[in-house]
Amino acid sequence: MVRTRFAPSPTGYMHIGNLRTALYAYLFAKANNGKFILRIEDTDTERTVEGVIDIIYKTLKQAGIEYDEGPDIGGDYGPYIQSQRKDIYNHYAHKLVETGAAYYCFCSKERLAQLQESGAPKYDKYCLRNVSLEQARSKIAAGEPYVVRQNIPEQGVSSYTDLVFGEISVDYKDLEDNILLKSDGMPTYNFANVIDDHLMRINYVIRGVEYLTSTNKYNLIYDAFGWERPNYIHLQPIMKDSARKLSKRTGDASFEDFIAKGYLSEAIVNYIALLGWSPKDNREKLSMRELIEAFSIEGISKSPSIFDEPKMRWLNSLYIKEMPPQAFAKKSKPYYDALGLESKFDYETLDKLLQSRVEIMSDIPEKLKFLDEFDNFDLGLFENKKLKTDKMIAKEVLPKLIERLKRIENFDNNSLFENLKEFSAEINLKSSALFWIMRIALTGAQVTPGGATEMAALFGKERALERLQAAYKRL
């Protein structure tokens, strides 16, 4: 059975790149009737941020990425939080020393600093060459601090096949004897992820391309224990432009940020799925079920992807347009309430105007700002060279329009539109010119969420006439 995992560090909000890794691991597992596991890698205690684990749970839930095993739901291979597995790592670290694939190191910070200052390209295996295993055990028994370092062969080449990039080979001389177990007894990522992946039966490891060559070091640990290596799928980064990667460390948007900006979770997930992968039929709008059905390794790109927020806005607009009216109403209400519209407008009418005209929910205040800025609008907006309108024509037309509107009983959009089309012919003015003047006089804006008659219907007869009269007095 296919078993994949997502193993985030609880160091901040869920970055878009991290969420894509989780999504691909989830899609690959589900596309192959497998299991998707959540594991928290919190061994870097200095960078761990309180409360972030709950954010990880919340984000995955919002994104519709359902894990089969994890810290909060359990499973057969727990615990699923690394800080709770310290004894496991210690056991395997000492066992690895016994195989000769690792060794105890007692070098002080001062010696390591001197080694670095001397220009040495990497650690010089001093403790491996000068401290026997028996001596090392005596030092440990005496309470001397130590770390466990991986013993990389000094000659030869390490190779493996990545399912995206093909064969990856690295000369051992280019690899360093990195620390596997720190002096506080906690493992480094280099060691813990191998132990956990093996014990949790992870057979497909999906992660960023930055681990493409270091995977050769991890494979040595598998080999030393006689364990089967997993299959590897490495992903190119998501870029903010041609030169810079998206990064939470530089303040790039997280999943939570985009939700707060009014994006729908389904649209975010849909978009990030396309950042580094494409279905065979090149569809762009896919539900989670459709993503699972279409996902395959063959569609993963070997090139980095550039995050294009306008593209995600466009995709989000498609989801908004297709939302059931009641779902849109639930999303829009907080924005209307914040604008203080509860006693002024029928929310259902606003929804009908806006649902097809916003790309993200936070567009709503911008679409409705004319409601507050009406009193001070620029009278120059009446001028439209294409329609041949200006302030003088508006001053001539508005009194006639006001009188006409007073006589209209059915003040809905359709009735207004048909009536005023007839009226424009009666006064020998193009209907487009009449509606332009009417829109400006009603809203003080050139762009509104709907045409002139829709705006009049929104305001209602009494308020629409008040606005038209106020605009006329200013001319």
Cα–Cα distance measured from residue 290 to residue 473, given in angstroms and rounded to the nearest whole number: 58
Q: What is the mean pLDDT of the chain?
A: 94
> What is the average per-residue pLDDT within 141-149?
97
With CA atoms as reference, report the closest residue to 81 among 221, 174, 196: 196
Q: Do 37 and 67 contact (CB within 8 A), yes or no?
A: yes
Q: How confident is the model at residue 376 (pLDDT cuts 50, 70, 90)?
A: confident
CB 53 within 8 A of CB 14: no
Spatial contact of 73 and 63, defined as CB atoms under 8 Å apart: no
Relative to beta strand 231-235, strand 204-208 is parallel
Give pLDDT, residue 250. Answer: 56
Taking only the tens place, the pLDDT of each residue in 2-30 is 999 999 998 877 889 999 999 999 999 99
pLDDT tens for residues 444-463?
999 899 999 999 999 999 99
Share of the chain above pLDDT 90, in %: 87
Contact (CB, 8 A) for 43 and 187: yes
Work out the average pLDDT over 182-204. Answer: 95
Average pLDDT over residues 124-153: 97
Given the residues 173, 248, 311, 331, select the one marked as catalytic: 248
Residue 279 has what pLDDT?
Answer: 95
The SS3 of residue 26 is helix
Compute the 3-state secondary structure of the chain and give helix, strand, coil in percent, each to the nearest 5. 50, 10, 35
Measured in whole angstroms, the distance separating CA 244 from the mean position of its chain's CA atoms is 17
- 8 Å CB contact between 471 and 440: yes
Peptide bond into 71 cis (omega under 30): no
Q: Is the pLDDT of residue 342 over 90?
A: no
Query: Which residues are CB-contacts of 310 (< 8 A; sequence separation ≥ 6)?
Result: none
| Cα distance between residue 130 and residue 124, in whole Å | 11
Contact 175, 152 (CB under 8 A): yes
More confident residue, 475 or 298: 298
d(CA 9, CA 81): 10
Catalytic (active site) residue 61: no
Q: How confident is the model at residue 406 (pLDDT cuts 50, 70, 90)?
A: very high
| 251 φψ region: left (φ > 0), alpha (ψ -120 to 50), beta (else) | left
Distance CA 31, CA 91 (A): 36
Q: Quick check: 431 pLDDT over 90?
A: yes
Collapsing DSSP to helix, strand or coil, 471 comes out as helix
Contact predicate 453/435, CB 8 Å: yes
CA gap 417, 431 in Å, rounded: 10
Picking from 214, 432, 434, 457, the residue whose alpha carbon sits closest to that of residue 353 is 457
In this structure, are residues 187 and 87 in contact, taking their beta carbons and an 8 Å threshold? no
Q: Can you give the pLDDT at residue 248?
A: 59
Name which of 339, 454, 471 is nearest 401 in CA terms. 471
Cβ count near 218 (within 10 Å): 23
44-90 pLDDT per residue, tens: 777 777 888 999 999 999 999 999 999 999 999 999 999 999 999 99
The pLDDT confidence band at residue 240, using thresholds 50, 70 and 90, is confident
Residue 43 confidence (pLDDT) above 60: yes
Collect all residues with Cβ–Cβ distance below 8 Å to 1 and sequence separation of at least 6.
33, 34, 35
Given a contact cutoff of 8 angstroms between Cβ atoms, the answer to whether 287 and 220 are in contact is: no
> Distance between CA atoms of 353 and 347, rounded to whole angstroms?
10
CA atoms within 13 Å, Cβ hemisphere of 395: 8
Look at strands 238-239 and 305-306 and give their pairing: parallel
What's the count of helices (H) and strands (E) in the chain, helices before strands? 20, 11
Alpha helices in 383-451 (DSSP H): 391-406, 413-426, 431-443
- Give the chain's radius of gyration (CA, Å): 32
Cα→Cα distances 185→71, 148, 271, Å: 22, 9, 41
This prediction's pTM: 0.91
What sign for the dihedral angle of Cα 438, 441, 447, 453? Answer: negative
Tell me: pLDDT of 473 over 60.
yes
**Which one-letter amino acid corresponds to residue 114?**
Q
